[in-house]
């Protein structure tokens, strides 16, 4: 097939591995620690995961492993939204299997978890894997957002695995997908099937992390891709000396992407959803904050600027968060009835009898186009699809209205013209950075070692990521260790706890120390395109968030 010059060269890139995974395959052993506990709600989770709760941490060391040469059949699933590096996870898993035993086979399930349910599988060949090494996207088998949750779906998944003679299933996904992996591991164990389940931490949002999972793959590449675009816009704004650019960035539940991009590009304003919630800021107060920067910069003759907005901001503004929670519950409890209402006015009337008065007033106060977006179909996990909510347009309109009032009162004399952008899909399938290419390959190879060693219910883990790759620490984290109980679809369910931006954390504090200067003074940085060739300090550099988190 035809490929670009860059793709040809990227095929030849050899991802770096932790020292524990280098050398002879027979010398990779697993060392187990003490039993673990869940993040919260331990009694409830212990009852749900009777077979898989409390497993020990695992890490790889040099030593003998009598099981690593077994002939294995493993299935792999890409679940949820795309993230740069997914192909390298599969390549690392494939290479590990073939090094362990050339007769081992890797099956790919097409279209996400539904491929396991419906037995839509292919057997990977070496030539097929080679066509996707170090490339972006999930197109090798495609992805999907089907959730394995009904008794019939669990039974069908087991039937497929048995028909194919699988020893294990690897699920590459985010927090919801890996929650599904934990439930599937438990189901297989209760059935006595002897089929293992291993997860890999994927999400550009960066909210699947903890002490043992330092970052999710794809975050590094996506942020560098967005930051290049933001830097280009900043350079344009500073050249033309006009336009305020309101840029919404992907990240449904956390502001890690917005914060990382701010650290890379130094915009005038970067809203952090977690701070908005912690301070209890209303929508009007958020608008006032932006207007203050616009007015101060206008005094300096700079009627231009850049505002970064997390995709999920509306879910963190107190009155909006309450509204969305009540909408989710009402629409989940009577889903069929609501689905049968086609008129927007009739939908609002239907909701007026099912949500609280304050929430109903908040809904009515929104521009109709924004209110409609809040009532769109939920995703498979019952969440509002915040990527469809045009927060950048909502804020632009409110800022424009506020500035007009300030001008009438003699409090503002500048010119305001705004443009809105949403950077999301632009970063999800980019060529992975060297960091993500290495990290993902290591995650895939680690998943093989976990499987070969007979472990199930684990998330592949690679740590010490700010050091050179040969110093990374590979192993596995029990999936139940990261879980708690949360309200989903109107009832409490086990889920992996999302990691939000910590306001006392080093990345936010570094941002907080300089943002007042950025709000007034043009301080833009232009990171440029991702570099794949050159000195390691340029090409292998991890995210600023990761470096700050691991600064002594």
* Whole-number Cα distances in Å, 265 to 308, 345, 516, 524: 10, 43, 15, 6
Tell me whether strands 491-496 and 483-488 are parallel, antiparallel or unpaired: antiparallel
Nearest to 458 by CA among 165, 197, 115, 194: 197
Question: Which residues make Cβ contacts (< 8 Å) with residue 415, sequence separation at least 6?
Answer: 242, 298, 303
Tokens of 356: 């609280």
d(CA 478, CA 186): 12
Residues acting as catalytic residues: 205
In sequence order, which ranges of 131-272 are alpha helices (DSSP H)? 151-164, 175-190, 219-240, 256-265
Rounded Cα distance, 259 and 274, in Å: 11
Taking the C-alpha atoms of residue 91 and residue 156, their distance in angstroms, rounded to an integer, is: 27
Which letter, b or e, does each residue of 436-465 get, where b requires 16 or more Cβ atoms within 10 Å of its Cβ? bbbbbbbbbbbbbbbbbbebbbbbbbbbeb
H helices, E strands: number in the chain: 23, 15
Q: Which residue has 């003679």 as its token pair? A: 165
Phi, psi of 419 (to 5 degrees): -130, 140
């Amino acid at each position: 097939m035809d490929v670009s010059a860059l793709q040809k060269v990227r095929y030849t890139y050899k991802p770096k591995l932790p020292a524990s995974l280098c050398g002879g395959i027979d010398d990779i052993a697993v060392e187990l620690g003490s039993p673990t506990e869940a993040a919260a709600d331990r009694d409830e989770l212990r009852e749900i995961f009777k077979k898989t709760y409390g497993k020990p941490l695992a890490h790889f060391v040099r030593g003998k492993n009598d099981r690593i040469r077994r002939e294995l059949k493993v299935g792999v699933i890409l679940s949820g939204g795309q993230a740069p590096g997914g192909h390298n996870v599969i390549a690392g898993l494939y290479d590990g299997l073939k090094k362990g035993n050339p007769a081992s086979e890797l099956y790919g399930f097409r279209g996400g978890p539904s491929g396991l349910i419906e037995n839509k599988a292919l057997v990977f060949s070496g030539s097929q894997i080679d066509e996707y090494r170090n490339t972006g996207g999930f197109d090798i088998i495609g992805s999907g957002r089907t959730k394995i949750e009904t008794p019939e779906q669990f039974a069908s998944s087991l039937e497929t695995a048995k028909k194919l003679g699988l020893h294990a299933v690897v699920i590459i996904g985010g927090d919801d997908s890996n929650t599904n992996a934990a439930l599937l591991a438990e189901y297989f164990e209760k059935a006595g099937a002897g089929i293992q389940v291993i997860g890999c931490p994927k999400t550009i949002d960066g909210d699947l992390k903890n002490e043992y999972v330092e970052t999710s793959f794809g975050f590094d590449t996506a942020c560098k891709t967005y930051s290049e675009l933001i830097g280009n816009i900043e350079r344009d704004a500073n050249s033309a000396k006009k336009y305020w650019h309101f840029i919404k960035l992907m990240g449904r539940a956390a502001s890690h992407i917005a914060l990382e991009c701010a650290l890379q590009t130094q915009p005038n304003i970067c809203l952090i959803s977690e701070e908005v919630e912690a301070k209890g800021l209303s929508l009007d107060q958020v608008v006032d904050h932006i207007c203050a920067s616009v007015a101060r910069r206008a005094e300096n003759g700079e009627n231009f600027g850049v505002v970064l907005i997390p995709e999920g901001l509306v879910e963190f503004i107190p009155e909006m968060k309450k509204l969305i929670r009540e909408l989710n519950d009402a629409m989940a409890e009577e889903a069929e009835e609501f689905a049968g209402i086609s008129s927007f006015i009739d939908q609002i009337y239907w909701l007026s009898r099912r949500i609280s008065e304050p929430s109903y007033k908040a809904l009515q106060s929104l521009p109709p186009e924004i209110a409609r977006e809040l009532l769109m179909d939920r995703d498979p996990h019952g969440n509002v699809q915040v990527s469809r909510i045009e927060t950048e347009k909502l804020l632009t309109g409110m800022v424009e209205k506020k500035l007009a009032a300030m001008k009438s009162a003699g409090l503002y004399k500048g010119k305001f013209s705004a443009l809105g952008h949403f950077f999301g899909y632009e970063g999800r399938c980019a060529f992975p950075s060297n960091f993500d290419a290495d990290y993902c390959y290591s995650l895939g190879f680690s998943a093989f070692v976990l499987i070969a060693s007979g472990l199930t219910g684990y998330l592949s883990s690679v740590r010490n990521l700010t050091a050179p790759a040969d110093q990374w620490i590979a192993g596995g984290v029990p999936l139940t260790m990261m879980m708690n109980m949360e309200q989903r679809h109107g009832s409490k369910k086990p889920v992996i706890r999302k990691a939000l931006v910590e306001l006392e954390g080093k990345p936010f504090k570094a941002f907080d120390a300089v943002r007042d200067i950025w709000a007034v003074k043009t301080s833009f940085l232009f990171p440029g395109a991702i570099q794949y060739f050159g000195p390691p300090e340029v090409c292998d550099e991890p995210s600023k968030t990761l470096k700050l988190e691991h600064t002594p």
